[in-house]
Structure 1
Amino acid sequence: MKLSSTILLFLTAFYLQAQNRISVGSKHFNESYILSEIIAQLLESNGFEVIRKTGLGGTTIAFDALKNGEIDVYPEYSGTISTEILKATGKSSLEEIESSLHKEFNLSVSRPLGFNNTYAIVLLSSTAERLNLKRISDLQQH
């Protein structure tokens, strides 16, 4: 089971405070679009001019846009940052992720946004009964 908090990935706060215009990006799936719009509206309600750059693509494209200054912030999963961006082989704490991002890319992360992306397997009850599935480990027989 994968547990991954959603956090914001952004350029250091010093950079963001130096300007009144912030570019908010998103990856190309619904949750990312929604979260980036929430971020944009929050920034606008606090006096920032927001440039929306949504639907950029996958992780690599969005992260490269952030590193290259094309966007200033976008929502990302901590697990994706750990495995896809930082290439960690084990589970990383938020503190480890933040330290590595700052050290390698001069980037910062927010606190978790208060929800996570925990995966589950969904199937019909009749299928589970027919295959005698009670635990995920029971799938290895099939």
Structure 2
Amino acid sequence: MDIARHIAVIDELCFRPFPAEHGPSPGGTAGPGCFVVALESSHGLRGGDGAERALTSGQYEKDRDALCERLAARWGETDPWNLQTVLLRTEGEEIPEPWGALSARARVAYLWEARGTARWVALAVADRDETDEIQLLAVVTDEPPP
């Protein structure tokens, strides 16, 4: 993992204009008010061996935690945000994006309001769907968390 490169991507997304339409973006997807970028992604684990998935997920969690340390030094300490509660809420209420989609992909996120940008930054390991690759995600949005 290249922490400096990942931090540079997050910094750039905090100031890049959001696109007018939803669609692909370098490293992920983007739309009005939101970027979702895979900082790291597994290859060949889609529906693969559970033990190998667990190892990769654990490594991505360590990578996420290392990035969290850097961002916490900048924007302050944050507690993990349980996305399971957000996922449960999607059954009975309208959860704004990207939060609804993130809760379907990840169990926990770390979240900051990026000072001076009017944007929120979230880091999460997307490993909930066993039929998909595991990803270390950075989400940058102007939509406050629900």
State TM-score, norm by structure 2.
0.24
Higher Cα Rg, which structure: 1
State TM-score, norm by structure 1.
0.24
**Which gives a bigger RCO, structure 1 or 2 (Cα 8 Å, sep 6+)?**
1
